[in-house]
Structure 1
């Protein structure tokens, strides 16, 4: 099933590489121009990272649904979601090395583990715990921002931080909507989160290409 899903995502992301305006409402013409100028290696990196961040959105939503409903697949879905964090870490190792890739995976795993605590607190209505873990969640976003901007001076710290913050806000909207059984709002939040993560993925790709032009 995972192999089939990956194939579907590759086809979907290949379409997005041809029509990038669908994923960047803020600047479709600029994104389309940048995409057309990519070398084959750069285009492949963009496609690979888009698949990984699409999976991040997909499996996060699957986990939210499963955890709130108390489904039997909750732990299995969580394991698959955590694997996605390792995959994203592995994707940067060719550029930043083994240790850096492992560090990114560790921070992203923490991102997911804290998210589970935020979700549980929201589901139970425990406001003190929700605030505690939500603060930890945003601190983790700061740590991810610091890591990426330290590794790559091409990244604008304020831009990267805001991207992570927006991701957390959209996931929170999705959780709140599903708890309140407002499924239309949940779907809308997921759609926004997916588009946002694709935009963030492209920003990361562009930063890597600028930092390592000889590799592309």
Structure 2
């Protein structure tokens, strides 16, 4: 396998952009009705989508390369398409020429990661160190380039520091996987995914400050924008981890337990979120219902492995009953604000995407599998927009507070450091669980 040819893109540079504290004003106007759908917040969401997907796909592609997996090329292609989309996003702000320049620079460092993967396979420590040295020089050069391009709204020093964090996360995930420490590998992966949403926050704030007219003088960092970003993160991570756990399950991979644990940890986070809003009893009730539905997916994977069509159909029937029951539960809990019928329809879309990604993978149609995977990942961003929009409209006072006038220069700050009431983020998370596609249907209806 020619890794350098096949592993088209494992881009890192832009994913560690960090905001400077000077001149980036993110204060929300008191007299404006809060909303999650503005040009600036859309930019933040788009960057969060592409950057976090990059981290997710990059780690999975490196893992597939280490395995010599049959779906390596399809995974690398998905990663390459992510780079195309990211380059197009840059071009939409800075123009086609800048987009092409970015793509060229972005792609130039890919060989260093390929060299690291190959050095690992060959047990060549010198080659691995040489690759890391090249990455170190690259992050310095590219950070300076971005500082200049953004009119010093991004600091080269902070950029380089943040980029090193991202490099450490991806290399850490890869090294841990190769060493057989699968639990640590997935811990790194979750950190990398989360970090990219903080990166999108800082980058979007800098771009919006640089080109306010392009974004209708709106701000990327607001309480409502933070809510949408938090939902973006939680929902897309769930989709990504679920697909990989199902792949590992059908393959009987050594890291199946660790991938299932990562998915379980995501469920645990969601359950704790429920408890923070509705109390421990409600949190436990949710955890039981949510875990049951994850179990139905496991049943489907097991039935596929055993070529038991009746068991597969039974698993799908259980998922169908689950979405009906859970949708009704949410409708009652929200006093009709979230209709059960729409919820059930939307949740079916999410189920279909995950099943499609898995079925295609099991059948050896890896191109289709990764197309479905990317659709499932992207679908969560439409869900987050509509769901967070409904919550903000329902509780506008909770999202109309002032924001601090300066951005942190680490790129790692979350909603807590900006006075955001985490309870309302958790409330949004509660509703997601049955609104995977309902919110997308609301979004489509508006178009």
- Name the TM-score, length of structure 1 as normaliser: 0.78
CA distance in 2: counterparts of 1:146 and 1:39, whole angstroms: 32
Shift, 1:33, TM fit? 7.3
Deviations 1:158-182 (A, max 9, x none): 1111111111111111111000111
Shift, 1:89, TM fit? 1.5
Deviations 1:178-210 (A, max 9, x none): 001111000110111111121112111111011
Please say which structure displays the higher CA radius of gyration: 2
| 2:127 equivalent in structure 1 | 129
CA distance in 2: counterparts of 1:42 and 1:195, whole angstroms: 20
| 2:270 equivalent in structure 1 | none
- Structure 2 CA distance for partners of 1:103 and 1:143, relative to 1, 3 Å: farther
| 1:61 equivalent in structure 2 | 59
| 1:7 equivalent in structure 2 | none
Q: Give the stretch that moved more between structures: 65-74 or 110-119.
A: 110-119
CA distance in 2: counterparts of 1:80 and 1:180, whole angstroms: 26
Is the Cα–Cα contact under 8 Å of residues 53 and 193 in structure 2 kept in the other structure?
no
Shift, 1:37, TM fit? 8.1
CA distance in 1: counterparts of 2:37 and 2:207, whole angstroms: 13
Aligned 1:1-216 pairs, distance under 5 A:
40-153=38-151, 154-216=153-215
SS for the counterpart of 1:125 is coil
Say which structure, 1 or 2, has more relative contact order (CA 8 Å, 6+ apart): 2
CA distance in 2: counterparts of 1:78 and 1:137, whole angstroms: 20
Aligned residues: 184
Shift, 1:43, TM fit? 0.8
Is the Cα–Cα contact under 8 Å of residues 104 and 144 in structure 1 kept in the other structure?
no
Is the Cα–Cα contact under 8 Å of residues 49 and 201 in structure 1 kept in the other structure?
yes
Show structure 2 runs of 5+ residues with no match: 1-25, 29-33, 216-447
CA distance in 2: counterparts of 1:120 and 1:201, whole angstroms: 30
CA RMSD of aligned residues (A): 2.0
Is the Cα–Cα contact under 8 Å of residues 46 and 202 in structure 1 kept in the other structure?
yes
| 2:412 equivalent in structure 1 | none
CA distance in 1: counterparts of 2:108 and 2:198, whole angstroms: 22
Show structure 1 runs of 5+ residues with no match: 1-31
